[in-house]
Homo-oligomer: A and B are copies of this chain.
Amino acid sequence: MKEGRLAKVSMREVAAHAGVSVGTVSHVINRSQKVSEDTIAKVSRSIDVLGFVRNAAARQLRSGRSSSLGLVVLDTANPFFASVAHGAREACDAAGLSLLIGDSGTEVARESKYLDLFAEQRVNGLLVTPSGADLSKLEGIASRGTPVMLVDREAGGYSLSSVTVDNAAGGRMALDHLIAGGCAKPAFVGGPFTLPQVSDRARGARERAAESDLDLAVFETDELTILAGRSIGEHIVSLPEEERPDAVFCANDLLAVGFMQAVIMFSALRIPEDLALIGYDDIDYAFSTIVPLTSIRQPADLLGRTAVESLLAENESGEQAHRDEKFTPELVVRQSTKDV
């Protein structure tokens, strides 16, 4: 019953126990210099016996290296970002890095808090989906030597690298499909419009609508959640028929899922006959909604993976030039829209 009460053991104790110097212990642990078989055995044994655990803080302080990346996304509960994080994590694992994840909840203040935290942690790089329009803080961080990669957000005028999926093209695709299905009164549901992901999708959609001489009604939401979708849906289905859209393009699948709930709970409208519905992201659940959801698929996993890999590549090559990698989304047709 000898409970090894918090006897914090450092390399000094290990060295003493094994009868060697501290430097030797370090070399055994890191294989940083040749050590004889005998010594390795002795030291390893002492490490086990004493239950020594390396101190990451000390090691990082001395070596300057940190071996971690920071990722800040808008909402970890959103399956799209969960996939992004998953892809990023896999890429980090492969590179022997650990990934710190922050959830900004689309709030600039929280995002900023995580950026500061990660900066203090001296992460090797930062992957960020920014919440606000002003990227100067990120630019500052990048110019001070920490590589920054924008995820699902273009650099705009800022001097930053990015990995994105073409949102305007996606919006255009969505409307193209709805119009081909014969829709006459399309609407866009989403928000906040301060998010370029939202406004770009809306813009692409509006442009395509205009080409067919159609107006695109816009219903702005506060969030991109199931709940927000349900409440705006409740509003829209209660509109008099002449004001009600006959096709709704939701800025993401969570909104669409909530919207569908509202249509079914609060109206007798049929999907897609009376109201066509298309989402964005093609999350796993889109396939399984009451009426299976047509959606615009984004390669989320790939986005995360690519972001990490590009960051590391850029880091390694000490490159200055910023790259913008842009993927193209893909239409996935299911029953919530009229197939053509």
Contacts and interface: CB of A to CB of B under 8 A. Distances in A.
A113 to B, nearest CB: 9
A194 interface: no
A266 interface: no
A120 B288 contact: no
A143 interface: yes
A101 B98 contact: no
Given A6-B144, A82-B76, A121 B56 contact: yes
Interface string A74-111: 00110100110110010000000010110100000000
Contact of A3 (B89, B98, B143, B226): B143
A292 B119 CA distance: 45
* Stoichiometry, copies per complex: 2
A85 B76 contact: yes
Interface in A1-40: 3-6, 8
A161 to B, nearest CB: 16
Contact of A55 (B122, B261, B288): B122
A304 to B, nearest CB: 12
Interface of A: 3-6, 8, 51, 53-58, 60-61, 66, 76-77, 79, 82-83, 85-86, 89, 98, 100-101, 103, 116-117, 119-122, 140, 143-145, 226, 257-258, 260-261, 284-285, 287-292
